[in-house]
Amino acid sequence: MSDQSQTERRVVIVGAGMAGVQTAVALREQGWSGSVTLIGAEPHQPYDRPPLSKAVLLGNAEGSAFDVDFEALGVELHLGREVTGVRPGAHEIDTPSGPVPYDVLVVATGALPVTLPGSEGVQGVHLLRTLDDAARLRPVLDRKHDIVVVGAGWIGAEFTTAAREAGCVVTVVEAADRPFAGTMPAEVAAPMAGWYAESGAELLTGARVASVEPGTVVLADGRRIAAGAVVVGIGARPATAWLDGSGIALGPDGSVTADSHLRTSQPDVYAVGDCASFPSARYGERLLVHHWDNALQGPHAVAANILGGAPQDYDPVPYFWSEQFGRFVQYAGHHAHADTTVWRGDPADAAWSVCWLRDGALVALLTVARPRDLAQGRRLIASGALLDPDRVADPSVPLKSATL
């Protein structure tokens, strides 16, 4: 694409979280000379989300705005502006203040937290997804309320950690028979369940919420739990309702079904981050990755493909981390179709790892306080190297030295 034709083209990015901001930055870094418009629904300066469940929540930081000079980058920023629809045939998106034309559209609207049925409008029920959510929860922690956390997943664990640090009494209720039921096998989740009691929080598994009343959570078996506040962390869904009727194909999970170049089913429309699934040749299936690293890495591929050079496939090794109960937990890869599970170390100890192999190759690993395992394992997954399971199982052997 010539510089002149680029200069006359308009990229509009809907969503001002990590994926949207990094797409704008990547476009400029890779030489895009046309206009770039970034539209965000929240009124706040674009910010990073991981600190919300840590420093911002505990009052150790007032915010987590990205260190990006949008004016210097030549990015036109529109905040507090909802986008209500898109008409690909007209190359326009719709907003309450009128249509916005585009030549290339990037959908980066992220995900919305799943709400607890029947809790809408009940006083004292909270989510933790936005800066405003964290601001509402800070005084709850300051007053040391008795708190019920619904959901023992990653957000539930991180919030419980912060609430216990603040001195709150915390009860965690989980409908499944273990924490992390949607993401971790039972044998891996089992030792992690003990972290709750170790922190002083009570974990109730097999505990389904029947209703939430002011000051009380009622379980399906009739138990009533006092709750000065309720924090719901039961998952997230792609924020794609605004695409209804657009002709942009969505999957059964609500994600935009992007191709390997992160293009959607409509011309000149891309999708990236938590709202988009993509086909992984590495894992032989479509992946929907709701994690920070995906929102950081995907924009580089989107920008390259918008610029129109050699098409760039997006097929990362998924990665995420979580700080919980005094532990740094990291995960890389995708273990759904592994045929072998290998432990490195004793999960009763402070540091251990779990490796998943398929046909002798490492496809995923979870590490607790073993960052070297994570760094080496991530590279081994990317390379597809075959490993010796006996050497993998020896925590004194570096993973990179376990190759055949």
What does the pLDDT read at residue 389? 97
Last residue of a domain, one of 307, 341, 362: 307
Q: Do 44 and 125 fall into the same domain?
A: no
Please name which of 115, 125, 120, 127 lies closest in space to residue 49, comparing C-alpha atoms: 127
Q: Do 102 and 130 fall into the same domain?
A: no
Q: How far is CA 63 from CA 42, 58, 155, 320, 322, in A?
A: 14, 11, 18, 22, 19
Decide if 376 is inside a domain: yes
Q: Tens-of-pLDDT digits for all 404 residues of the chain?
A: 555 467 779 999 999 999 999 999 999 999 999 999 999 999 999 999 888 887 878 877 777 899 999 999 999 999 999 999 999 999 999 999 999 999 999 999 999 999 998 888 788 999 999 999 999 999 999 988 899 999 999 999 999 999 999 999 999 999 999 999 989 999 999 999 999 999 999 999 999 999 999 899 999 999 999 999 999 999 999 999 999 999 999 999 999 999 999 999 999 999 999 999 999 999 999 999 999 999 999 999 999 999 998 899 999 999 999 999 999 999 999 999 999 999 999 999 999 999 999 999 999 999 999 999 999 999 999 999 999 999 999 999 999 999 99
Domain range for 205: 115-232
CATH number at residue 222: 3.50.50.60
Domains held by the chain: number: 3
Decide if 324 is inside a domain: no
Q: Do 61 and 141 fall into the same domain?
A: no
CATH number at residue 349: 3.30.390.30
The two beta strands, 35-39 and 75-78, are parallel
Residue 252, by phi and psi: left (phi above 0), alpha (psi -120 to 50) or beta?
A: alpha
pLDDT in tens, 380-404: 999 999 999 999 999 999 999 999 9
Q: Do 354 and 265 fall into the same domain?
A: no
Decide if 201 is inside a domain: yes
Last residue of a domain, one of 184, 214, 232: 232
Q: What angle do CA 258, 261, 266 make, to 5 degrees?
A: 50
Decide if 319 is inside a domain: no
Last residue of a domain, one of 232, 256, 278: 232
Decide if 315 is inside a domain: no
Rg of the chain (C-alpha set) = 22
Q: Do 128 and 180 fall into the same domain?
A: yes
What does the pLDDT read at residue 121? 79
How far apart (Å, rounded) are the C-alpha atoms in residues 248 and 265? 5
pLDDT in tens, 309-366: 889 999 999 999 999 999 999 999 999 999 999 999 999 999 999 999 999 999 999 9
Q: Do 262 and 192 fall into the same domain?
A: no
